[in-house]
Chains A and B, each alone.
Chain A
Amino acid sequence: MTTDAATAPSSLLSGQGRGLVDRFGDRALYLITLLAAILSGVILGGITYEVFKLAGSAISKFGLGFLTTSNWDPVHEQFGAAQFIYGTAVSSFGALLIATPLSIAIALFLTELAPRRSRTPIAVLVELLAGVPSVILGLWGILVLGPFLNDTVEPALHAALGWIPLFGGTYSPVGLFPAMVILTIMTVPIVSSLTREVFATVPPSAKEGALALGGTRWDMMTTTVLPYSRPGIIAAVMLGLWRAVGEAIAVTQVIGGAPGIHANIFIPAQTMASQIAAQYQGASPLNQSALGYLAVVLLILSLVFNGVARLLVRGVQRRAKVS
């Protein structure tokens, strides 16, 4: 049945008979949502601009040497970031070293081993851990974790592995080690829930194949689940690293805030993020600019970790779609 425009009722052409909101609603909705989307990009750009602007005088004064020198002397206005970069690197990598196997274990348990009914409650509990405000974790770190590590774990580690410089003989309730443990607690929920999602993309037919071939659960995991998930696990760890590198509050609370580069992880240190959080108020202009330079380094590191992780995740999703 064909109707040409001339014979159509006039309301079809003019939209008369529909209210104003009805007529322009969709267009308005489009504009509002577009604005919201643009806003997030503008904010990211604005922050980046401001941080670079703040860092400007420090960048021109210290150049790239800032990254390799370690004196931080507000009195003589000499600034170098090496000790904070070291603190950030050791605390974050240390945390990931503990968090990665733990997260993989949690994810394997929840996707392959746990009784089906208990999976969701346990997963929710693990993710709730991510909801604890970091300042509360830091408080717990000061009151409970630090003293416990100082009195029990650190002497034990030193007794067993004291020949490694990392586990030197000076103990302290604050320092790199408590910071690592706190960061572990903060990253495990993220890394384990992402890893769990990655495991869910493993083709069930491949897992079935391993079991039908006379594989144990462990065989099934090592032949199909883990190798298939490797890029996804790496992405999850990168996102965990991103979280650990950027965490300021809880780390500031437990790390002790002492300058210097020491092999011993039991004594106080400082990270880039905790240095910014601890020192910015009341600092001199060049000192503030140096902290801005730290922020630039932090921002670039975060964007790199996040970007690489996203690329890896996209690769995993594409492969999951193909198979």
Chain B
Amino acid sequence: MDYEPSDVTVVDRKDEITSRIPRPAEAPAPASPPQQSSETPASGLERMHATRHIRLEDLHAYYGSNHAVKGVNLSFEPGKVTAIIGPSGCGKSTMVRCVNRMHEEIPGARSQGRVLLDDVDLRGPGVDVVAVRRFVGMVFQKANPFPTMSIFDNVAAGLRFTGTPRDEITDRVNAALEAAGLWDEVEGRLSEPGMSLSGGQQQRLCIARALAVEPAVLLMDEPCSALDPVATLKIEELIGQLKQRVTIAVVTHNMQQAGRVADTTAFMLSGELVEVGPTEKMFTNPDDERTEQYVTGKFG
């Protein structure tokens, strides 16, 4: 990993996530010296976290007796978009839902293994699940704005959860809407219901909502599967712009989409990770025969 956070402010918030558990004394503190952002410092989204690298180690996930994810080892690297492709039911959504621990919200679901955010195991004992989700944002398959809230309140919701001071909220909401490419379309009607937006706008509203709390990682679970091609293109462009700010993992069963947005592509089949590599190599010259068959459309 040769990532250098050169032009961004580094904020080490790793302690927040583990504040409730005694840290081992030898725990490394990879604090790079904070540097001033060269870009508009007004937007909090320009800042970047030291904690941004996700590594799954021997991750298993179950629904009751159904073994949905079978020992996956995979990294989501900072500054890069990782796409996870594979046929329906291969466990790709389940796998990313283990990262922000939404998997365990489903009755009867459980998981095993390690999910490391830098050096902290998000599944470890004593880790606060609410804190995990503030570090790891998520965008769902179907846009799910809060049904009773205005556009503004939707984006402000996460900030209110964290007790952000009132005078900061407006700026951060505007910045998040700007970052999600929605500002020009909703300016002047922020008090209208979030549900009044079109499908694609609703999905970008959900992206803005997730970005507002400045997560280190953004998981996107088939974010475009319910959208038309134009709205899809907008989201894909957005993913390209956001990857410098936040580590992104995109689950998709659209291989062309993986080809367009991802730096790294992982292919899953029947709960197992078959192959992971640079996107171009995965689509042109994969090592595994099953990957080859899948990307050339022989099945799936």
A interface residues, Cβ below 8 angstroms from B: 116, 203, 205-206, 208-216, 219, 223-224, 227-228, 230, 323
- Asked whether A213 and B144 contact (CB < 8 A) given A223-B149, A223-B157, the answer is no
List 16 additional A-B contacts (Cβ < 8 Å) besides A211-B133, A213-B161, A227-B148: A203-B147, A205-B142, A206-B145, A209-B146, A209-B209, A210-B146, A212-B138, A213-B158, A213-B213, A214-B134, A214-B213, A215-B130, A215-B157, A215-B158, A216-B161, A227-B149
Instruction: Tell me whether B105 is interfacial, beta carbon within 8 Å.
Output: yes
Chain B neighbourhood of A206, CB < 8 A: 144-147
CB distance from A221 to the nearest CB of B (A): 12
Tell me how many residues of B have a C-beta within 8 Å of chain A: 26
B149 x A209 contact (CB < 8 A) = no
Which of A205, A213, A227, A323 lies in contact with B209, CB distance below 8 A? A213
Which of A203, A214, A227 lies in contact with B130, CB distance below 8 A? A214
B102 x A214 contact (CB < 8 A) = no
B162 x A208 contact (CB < 8 A) = no
Which of B144, B162, B209 lies in contact with A203, CB distance below 8 A? B144
A209 x B161 contact (CB < 8 A) = no
* Residue of B with least CB distance to A224: B146
Question: How many contacts between A and B, using CB within 8 angstroms?
Answer: 69
Which of A203, A213, A227 lies in contact with B210, CB distance below 8 A? A213
- Asked whether A212 and B102 contact (CB < 8 A) given A205-B140, A205-B144, the answer is yes
User: Which of B134, B157, B209 has most chain A Cβ within 10 Å?
Assistant: B157
* Residue of A with least CB distance to B213: A214
18 cross-chain CB contacts under 8 A: A205-B142, A206-B145, A209-B206, A212-B100, A212-B138, A212-B210, A213-B158, A214-B133, A214-B134, A215-B133, A215-B157, A215-B161, A223-B149, A223-B157, A224-B147, A227-B146, A228-B148, A230-B148
Q: Give the distance in Å from the alpha carbon of A65 to the alpha carbon of B148 in the complex.
A: 45
Give residues 69-124 of B contacting A (CB, 8 Å). 100, 102, 105, 107
B interface residues, Cβ below 8 angstroms from A: 100, 102, 105, 107, 130-131, 133-134, 137-138, 140, 142, 144-149, 157-158, 161-162, 206, 209-210, 213
B105 x A208 contact (CB < 8 A) = yes
User: Which of A208, A212, A215, A323 has most chain B Cβ within 10 Å?
Assistant: A212
A216 x B130 contact (CB < 8 A) = yes
B140 x A209 contact (CB < 8 A) = yes
B144 x A208 contact (CB < 8 A) = yes
A213 x B137 contact (CB < 8 A) = yes
Q: Give the distance in Å from the alpha carbon of A102 to the alpha carbon of B137 in the complex.
A: 35
* Residue of B with least CB distance to A323: B147
CB distance from A224 to the nearest CB of B (A): 6
A214 x B158 contact (CB < 8 A) = yes
CB distance from B122 to the nearest CB of A (A): 13
